[in-house]
Amino acid sequence: MRATIIHAPGDIRVENVPAPKITASTDAIVRTVAACVCGSDLWSYRGVLPVAEPQPIGHEYVGIVEEVGSDVSTVRPGQFVIGSFVASDNTCPICRTGYQTSCRHAQWVNGAQAEYVRIPLADGTLVAVPEQPAEDLIPSLLALSDVMGTGWYAARAAEVKPGSTAVVVGDGAVGLCGVIAARELGAERIIAMSRHASRQKLALEFGATDIVTERGEEGVARVKELTNGIGADSVLECVGTQESLHQALQSSRPGGNVGFVGFPHGSQIEGQELFFSHVGLRGGPAPVRAYLPDLIDRVIGGRINPGKVFDLTLPLDEAAEGYKAMAERRAVKTLLRP
Ligand SMILES: [Zn+2]
C-alpha cells in the first residue's frame, strides 16, 4: 500500500510499504477514505521533535472498516467509521469518567496518512456513522477525529455556558473549531483573536462576534474593553506558547476558566499569578472519543461544518506538498485523499 513516511525533518515521502495486519484480536484495519496533516505533525517536520529513523505518520482519519479481529463486536467490515487519535478501551474507570485519552490502555494512533491503518481497541475507539456519508460531509467528519474534538474539549474545559462570553486564543484549525464549539455550547459573545484576514472571515462565519487583532498586553486590554473591564467567563487557549497561555490567563475574569489544548512549548505558569487570578485551568489531550457520537450527529444534521478548516486537498501521493504548505503557512490544514 501507499503510506506517508517521515525520513527526517523536512523529508516526507509516500512509499510502498506492507499493508497493516490484525495483530491483536481487538484490532480493526480501516481503509482510509481521508486523512489529514495535524499541526502536531509539523513538530517532527520542523525538527522540533527528533526523527530517529524513517517512520509512518498521521493520526486523523475516516474510512471503511476492512477487517476486524475476533473480539471486535461494535464495528464490522463495510462500515464508515471515525476514531480518535488515541485508541482507548472506553470501559476502564478513567474512560468512564470521560477522559479516554488517559485510558489505562491508551495507545496513540499512528500511520493514518496511508491507504490502510490499523486501529487498536477498535470497539472502544471507532464510532460508525449510521450510513455511508455524502461526499461533501467527509471533510467535516474527518475534522471530528482531532481538531473539532479538540476545539470542543477546549470549550468544555473552559466551561462555556449559555449566555457566557468566550475568548478564543489561536486562529489555527483547533481555534477555529473552538469558535464553533463555543457557539454550539451557547456563548453569547465569542471574541476570536486573529491577525489573518482569511481566518478572521472563517471565525466570523463559525460564530465569532468580535475579532481582536492585538496580541500580548494590548490584546488583553482589548478583551477587557469588550467585557466590561473584567475579562471573559471562558478562554480557549489553542496555541501552547508562553505568550498565548499568559494572554489566556490574563483575558479571563476572576473566577473564569481557561481550557488549554495547545500543546505546551516550554510554557510556565507562575504560582502566585495563578493563585491571585482565581482562574480555573484545565487542559490536556482532548478526549475526542467522548464527543464523537454527539459531534457526528451535529455534522450529519447540518448544524456544524468544521470541514471548512481544510483549505488544501491533495492526493495522498502529494503529502510532501501538504506538509510544506502548512509549514510555510500557505495552508491552515491539508486534507489527503488516498
Ligand atoms: Zn479506558
Which pLDDT tens digit goes with each residue over 107-149? 999 999 999 999 999 999 999 999 999 999 999 999 999 999 9
Angle, helix 242-251 to helix 216-226, in steps of 10 degrees: 20
CA 289 / ligand 1 centre spacing (Å): 11
With a pLDDT cut of 70, the percent of the chain lying above it is 100
CA 126 / ligand 1 centre spacing (Å): 13
The DSSP symbol for 164 reads: -
Per-residue pLDDT, averaged over 237-252, amounts to 95
- Where are the domains positioned within the chain? 2-146+287-337, 150-283
Per-residue pLDDT, averaged over 215-223, amounts to 95
CA 87 / ligand 1 centre spacing (Å): 9
CA 66 / ligand 1 centre spacing (Å): 24
Query: Within 13 Å and on the Cβ side, how many CA atoms surround 252?
Result: 28
Q: What is the pLDDT of residue 38?
A: 94
CA 50 / ligand 1 centre spacing (Å): 29
Q: Domain 2-146+287-337 maps to which CATH number in 3.40.50.720, 3.90.180.10, 3.50.50.60, 3.40.220.10?
A: 3.90.180.10
Say which amino acid occupies 83: G
Q: What is the pLDDT of residue 120?
A: 98
Q: What is the pLDDT of residue 243?
A: 93
CA 290 / ligand 1 centre spacing (Å): 11
The H-assigned helical ranges of the chain are: 41-46, 93-96, 122-125, 138-144, 147-157, 173-184, 197-206, 216-226, 242-251, 271-277, 288-300, 319-327
Q: What is the pLDDT of residue 192?
A: 98
DSSP letters, 140-153, are HHHHHTTHHHHHHH
Residue 276 neighbours by CB under 8 Å, 6+ apart: none
CA 9 / ligand 1 centre spacing (Å): 33
Per-residue pLDDT, averaged over 85-105, amounts to 98
- What confidence tens digit (pLDDT) does each residue in 266-315 have? 889 989 989 999 999 999 999 999 999 999 999 999 999 999 999 999 99
CA 139 / ligand 1 centre spacing (Å): 28
Per-residue pLDDT, averaged over 82-110, amounts to 97
CA distance 81 to 94: 23
Q: What is the pLDDT of residue 266?
A: 83
Quick one: pLDDT band at residue 49, thresholds 50, 70, 90?
Answer: confident
CA 96 / ligand 1 centre spacing (Å): 7
- What confidence tens digit (pLDDT) does each residue in 157-209 have? 999 999 999 999 999 999 999 999 999 999 999 999 999 999 999 999 999 99
CA distance 331 to 269: 31
CA 44 / ligand 1 centre spacing (Å): 28
CA distance 46 to 143: 23
306 C-beta neighbours (distance < 10 Å), count = 27
CA distance 306 to 177: 6
The grid coordinates listed for 116 are 490502510
CA 160 / ligand 1 centre spacing (Å): 26
CA 154 / ligand 1 centre spacing (Å): 21
CA 101 / ligand 1 centre spacing (Å): 8
Dihedral angle sign, alpha carbons of residues 20, 21, 24, 26: positive
Quick one: pLDDT band at residue 152, thresholds 50, 70, 90?
Answer: very high
Report the topology of domain 150-283: Rossmann fold (3.40.50)
Per-residue pLDDT, averaged over 49-75, amounts to 96
CA 121 / ligand 1 centre spacing (Å): 10
Per-residue pLDDT, averaged over 215-237, amounts to 97
Q: What is the pLDDT of residue 33?
A: 98
Write down the mean pLDDT value for the chain.
96
CA 98 / ligand 1 centre spacing (Å): 9
For ligand 1, a single-atom ion, the residues with CB < 5 A are 88-89, 92, 95, 103
Q: What is the pLDDT of residue 14?
A: 98
CA 293 / ligand 1 centre spacing (Å): 17
CA 97 / ligand 1 centre spacing (Å): 9
